[in-house]
Amino acid sequence: MKKILLAAVMVFLFSGIDRATAQLLSLPNSDVNYKCKTGRKLCVTDIDINWNAPGVKGREGKIWGTSIAHYGFTVLGFGSNTESPWRAGADENTTISFSTDVTINGQKLPAGKYGFFIALYPDSCTLIFSKNTAGWGSYFYNKDWDVMRVGARQQKDMKESRERLEYNFSRQTDHSVEIALEWERWRIPFTVEVDLVATTLHSIRTQLSGAMGFDPPSLEAAANWCLQNKVNYQEALGWINTAIDPSLGGVNNFRIMSIKAGLLEGLNRKDEADKLMLTAMETASVTDLHNYGRQLLGQKKVKEAMLVFEKNYQKSNGAWPTTAGLMRGYSAMGDLKKALEYAKKALPQAPNPGVKKIIEDAIKTLESGKPL
pLDDT digits (tens, 9 = 90+) for 202-226: 999 999 999 999 999 999 999 999 9
- Say whether pLDDT at 26 is over 80: no
- In the beta sheet, which residues pair with residue 45? 42
Superfamily designation of domain 197-367: Tetratricopeptide repeat domain (1.25.40.10)
Between CA 123 and CA 133, with CA 128 as vertex, the angle to 5 degrees is: 140
- CATH 1.25.40.10 residue spans of the chain: 197-367
Q: What is the DSSP string of 191-233?
A: EEE--HHHHHHHHHHHHHTTGGGG-HHHHHHHHHHHHHHT--H
- Say whether pLDDT at 2 is over 70: no
CA dist 370 to 301, 334, 366, Å? 20, 9, 5
Q: What is the pLDDT of residues 242-262, one digit of tens each?
A: 999 888 888 889 999 999 999
Q: What is the pLDDT of residues 166-199, one digit of tens each?
A: 999 999 999 999 999 999 999 999 999 999 999 9
CA atoms within 13 A on the CB side of 141: 30
Determine contact, residues 102/193, Cβ cutoff 8 Å: yes
Q: What is the pLDDT of residues 278-322, one digit of tens each?
A: 999 988 999 999 999 999 999 899 999 999 999 999 999 999 999
pLDDT at 17: 46
Looking at the chain, list the stretches that DSSP marks H as alpha helix, in order from N- to C-terminal side.
Answer: 2-14, 19-22, 196-208, 216-229, 233-244, 254-266, 270-283, 286-298, 302-315, 322-333, 336-346, 353-367
Task: Categorize the per-residue pLDDT at 24 as very low, low, confident or very high, splitting at 50, 70 and 90.
Answer: low
**How far apart, in whole angstroms, are the C-alpha atoms of residue 126 and residue 135?**
19
DSSP designation for 142: -
Task: Categorize the per-residue pLDDT at 25 as very low, low, confident or very high, splitting at 50, 70 and 90.
Answer: low
Task: Categorize the per-residue pLDDT at 9 as very low, low, confident or very high, splitting at 50, 70 and 90.
Answer: very low
**How far apart, in whole angstroms, are the C-alpha atoms of residue 223 and residue 87?**
45
Q: What is the pLDDT of residues 89-144, one digit of tens each?
A: 999 999 999 999 999 999 999 999 999 999 999 999 999 999 999 988 888 899 99
